[in-house]
Amino acid sequence: MTAEEMKADGAPLEGADITPKRDEGVLKVVKREGSGTESPMIGDKVTVHYTGWLLDGTKFDSSLDRRDKFSFDLGKGEVIKAWDIAVATMKVGEICRITCKPEYAYGSAGSPPKIPPNATLVFEIELFEFKGEDLTDDEDGGIIRRIRKKGEGYSKPNEGALVEIQFEGRYGDRVFDRRELRFEIGEGDNYDLPHGLEKAIQKMEKSEESVFYLKPNYGFGSAGKEKFQIPPDAELQYEVKLKSFEKAKESWEMNTDEKLEQSCIVKERGTQYFKEGKYKRAVLQYKKIVSWLEHESGLSEEEDTKAKSLRLAAHLNLAMCHLKLKEYSQALENCNKALELDSNNEKGLFRRGEARLAVNDFELARGDFQKVIQIYPSNKAAKVQLVTCQQKIREQHEKEKKMYANMFQRLADKDLKSAATLQTSHNEDEEMKDEQNGVGDKSEVDTEA
């Protein structure tokens, strides 16, 4: 694009002021209307094509020339201010031209060597798609956030924080829950909140307003929620405003007495969750004890005894929770941790045996159950499991015996087949020699005649 074309087109002079301050720092002209009603929100991953010019018509950059679309997270400061402002006003398929003053571009520094200091820039941008921010640890798309209004500061609620929220839950077009609520993170289940929403709230800043989209695993799961008439495997949407929060004390902020006191409290809370069948909730509570006390040093003899007792209980209870959740490697890990604290612990040995039995490690499982019976002869459950192990080992041996027998039979059959093939080949060779000898004799007779 030449300078004359730009002046004729009027792009540097025309356009709607889209700056929040209305200071004409970013002017926008729509070249082609987009589709749909939604525009990108803060935190969305947006994908665009663009071309940039100086006011004299010099092109300094173009994704079109590279044939490579450009993606960035909107509103996160990854691009110049003008882009964050302009792209947030676009629809999918829209092409617009923006003119941005230096303070919304590269300012007094410019971007050498192509962009001089205090340069007003012109961009043509086409928006192809946008999608919300994935908040899950595994990036499985189970919790998607779209920020309507950015929050204040950088602090976020942690596990155990006291939060005050205003929210609305939707299933399809139906609002099923609308409340203002003050609760402690980790206790949401008591207030009919899905665990995915609690996880999402921990990513929010004070005064932030966001929309969250929850897949079934992060919502009410396969059980649904009869109270709200939510069927099994339902996808949910929540609009949430985080009005305020008080962070729970982190481990480094607590002294030893506080850690021991809080550990007793969360142990009881975890046990209550376990009794209610809320194993994942219980796991979160027991893990707190481990994180608070595992590396605590400089304890008195009394404090050390209490800390070890709490850690032992936490690992044993974690092992039990993981067994219930069929998470056997974690169960085994926590049993080993418990047995490091008490090598002959009855529950630790028994639960390790159960974890090993569940993953078909029958020999090691038998060893654990035998040790339980040796130290605690009255443990009937261990005796039952020992019988199960021995039965499984016998079955395994029988299976291996048959497998090897079949394997040897196949090898024997193969040898017989090979021998038969060799014999057949030998016979054919003999027959061929006889035929050749016969032909030779006949030739000699004919010659003599």
Reported as a single tens digit per residue, the pLDDT across 141-186 is 999 999 999 999 999 999 889 999 999 999 999 999 999 999 999 8
Rounded Cα–Cα distance for residues 389 and 351 (Å): 14
pLDDT at 403 > cutoff 90: no
Catalytic-labelled residue, pool 61, 134, 192, 233 = 61
For residue 244, give both structure tokens: 């305020």
Assign 3-state DSSP to the chain and report helix, strand, coil percentages, each to 5.
45, 20, 30
State residue 11's pLDDT score. 43
The Cα 94–Cα 387 span in angstroms is: 71
How confident is the model over 379-403, as a mean pLDDT? 90
Choose the catalytic residue: 60, 128, 176, 228: 60
**CB 86, CB 98: distance < 8 Å:** yes
The residue count for the chain = 449
Query: Which pLDDT value is given to residue 7?
Result: 47
50 is catalytic: yes
| pLDDT value of residue 206 | 97
User: Does the active-site annotation cover 191?
Assistant: no
Please confirm, yes or no, whether 201 is among the known catalytic residues. no
Give me the mean pLDDT over the 256-285 stretch.
93
pLDDT of residue 303: 96
Average pLDDT over residues 61-77: 95
pLDDT in tens, 356-390: 999 999 999 999 999 999 999 999 999 999 999 99
* Residue 322, token pair as written in the block: 């993981």
**pLDDT for the residue numbered 422:** 62
123 a catalytic residue:
yes
Long-range contacts of 429-437 (CB under 8 A, 24+ apart): none
Q: What is the pTM assigned to this prediction?
A: 0.66
Q: What tens digit of pLDDT does each residue of 304-337 get? A: 999 999 999 999 999 999 999 999 999 999 999 9
174: how many CB neighbours lie within 10 A of its CB? 10
Averaged pLDDT for residues 208-229: 97
Q: Is 60 a catalytic residue?
A: yes
**Averaged over 82-93, what is the pLDDT?**
97
Residue with more model confidence, 445 or 240? 240
Dist. CA 338–CA 327, nearest whole Å = 17
* Alpha helical stretches, state H, 325-375: 328-341, 346-358, 362-375
pLDDT at 423: 60
Burial of 226 (0-12, 13-18, 19+ CB in 10 A): exposed
**Cα angle value 245/247/252 (rounded, 5°):** 170
Q: Is the pLDDT of residue 417 over 80?
A: no
Q: Is 212 in contact with 240 (CB distance < 8 Å)? A: yes
Please provide the distance, in angstroms rounded to a whole number, between the alpha carbons at the two ends of the chain: 106
- Asked if pLDDT for residue 418 goes beyond 80, the answer is no
pLDDT higher at 6 or 99: 99
Chain-wide mean pLDDT for the chain? Answer: 90
Residue that the structure tokens 């016979």 belong to: 427
Q: In what order do the strands lie in the sheet with 209-214?
A: 133-134, 143-149, 209-214, 236-246, 162-171, 174-184
Check: CB of residue 82 under 8 Å from CB of residue 26: yes
SS3 6: helix
What is the average pLDDT across 19-28?
Answer: 95
Higher pLDDT, 280 or 60: 60
Q: Does residue 80 carry a catalytic annotation? A: yes
Among the options 85, 98, 104, 106, which is catalytic?
106
For residue 428, what pLDDT band results from cuts at 50, 70 and 90? low
- Supply 34's token pair: 């987009």
Long-range contact set of residues 336-345: C-beta below 8 Å, sequence gap at least 24: 338/312, 341/308, 341/311, 341/312, 341/315, 342/312, 344/371, 344/375, 345/312, 345/316
Q: What is the mean pLDDT of residues 33-47?
A: 94
Q: Beta strand 26-32 with 16-17: parallel, antiparallel or unpaired?
A: antiparallel
User: CA-based angle 124:130:134, to the nearest 5?
Assistant: 145
**Residue 227 token pair:** 């109270």
Tell me, what's the pLDDT at 189?
A: 87
In order of 195, 219, 221, 229, 278, the CA distances from 226 in angstroms are: 17, 13, 12, 5, 17
Report the C-alpha gap between 195 and 321 in whole angstroms: 17
Listed in order, strand segments (DSSP E) in 185-290 are 209-214, 236-246
Torsion of CA 131, 133, 135, 140, to 10 degrees: 30
What lies within 8 Å, CB to CB, of 355 at 6+ separation is 319, 322, 323, 328, 331, 332, 335
What would the two tokens of residue 177 be?
Answer: 């829950």
Residue 397 has a pLDDT of 82
- Residue of 18, 44, 50, 98 marked active site: 50
Given the residues 42, 80, 115, 201, the one annotated as active site: 80
Beta bridge partners of 99: 27, 122
The two structure tokens encoding residue 328: 């056997």
